[in-house]
Amino acid sequence: MDEIPWEDVGMFGNGLPERDGRYSYEPYRSGDHHEMRTRIKAEGKARCYYETSSERVSFTVRSAEEYGMLDISEIERRPR
């Protein structure tokens, strides 16, 4: 499964995910946000990532049922 770049999906409300849990976000009206929602509906999850100056962080979105909230798990960090 290809990872979706988070920068095109939305913006986290309370900082970047550090561990599994529920996170608030502001969704963007974009093709990648639509793709994330489509994958969750079809496959039960979507894999996304964001990059900082020192690492690439990948995570799985398991649910986006409630507007502005995501259930995130399987956070994986890799040096850039």
Higher pLDDT pick, 20 / 64 = 20
One DSSP character per residue, 5-44 reads: EGGGTEEESSSS--SSEEEEEEE-SSHHHHHHHHHHHHHS
Whether the predicted pLDDT of 37 surpasses 70: yes
Indicate the pLDDT class of residue 1, thresholds 50, 70 and 90.
low
pTM for the model stands at 0.92
User: Which pLDDT tens digit goes with each residue over 42-76?
Assistant: 999 999 999 999 999 999 999 988 899 999 999 99
Share of the chain above pLDDT 90, in %: 89
